[in-house]
Amino acid sequence: MGKIILVRHGESKLNVEGVYYGILNPELTEKGKEQAKKTREILKNISYEKIYTSDLKRAIETAEIVNYKELEISIDEELRELNFGIFEGRSYEELLEKYPEELKKSQKNWENYNYITGESVLELQKRAINFIEKKIDLEKDTVLVTHWGVINTILSHYFSNGLESYWKFSVKNGGVVIIEFSEGYPILKGLNIGG
């Protein structure tokens, strides 16, 4: 019986600005660093044998802070946030003005909409689940420091049909989610702990 411990990175500078961003690469804010320190205290009650992080700065910084066991951190781009393509770095208001048709398409068919030069939520989910199936030993306890979209696609995969529950989980910056696997069967043991 093993666990996947999902950690959402702390607040970044672009979280504060309220723009669409996935692969843009801001650092943590001071608040984000404090959130990660609180998460570290939570993780001290949870054992883990391996820790992975997205290759984006906000996740790497968070991983370095929360890694109380000081294990070697494996960096993997498959844990990156959704690539919003032409939407990256833009506010909703900017998109209404510059890409109104694309914005409508993205809202109407959000699962499959490919963000022109980016990827769809469905592609993100395939990437995240592929990472787990190929690289994670579900008999061991593993921390994955990653992003809202990645966490929600993983939760939706294991606890609903496809992307059915993608919008139904609220994982805040610094929040911890625990999925325990009993003979490969997923059990949600904690949601948004500390977030």
Q: What pLDDT does residue 116 have?
A: 85
Catalytic annotation on 81?
yes
Q: What pLDDT does residue 61 have?
A: 98
Q: CA nearest 46: which of 62, 69, 77? A: 69
Strand partners, 180: 3, 187
Q: What pLDDT does residue 67 have?
A: 98
Q: Name the one residue in this structure whose structure tokens are 């801001």.
A: 26
Domains of the chain: 2-80+120-193 (3.40.50.1240)
Please give the average pLDDT of every successive group of 10 residues along the chain, which has 195 residues. Answer: 97 92 96 98 97 98 98 98 96 95 94 92 98 97 98 98 95 97 95 90
Catalytic annotation on 147?
no
Single-letter amino acid, residue 86 = I
Q: What pLDDT does residue 184 have?
A: 87
Q: What pLDDT does residue 115 have?
A: 86
The residue annotated as part of the active site, out of 11, 61, 81, 119, is: 81
What end-to-end distance do the CA atoms of the chain give, in Å? 25
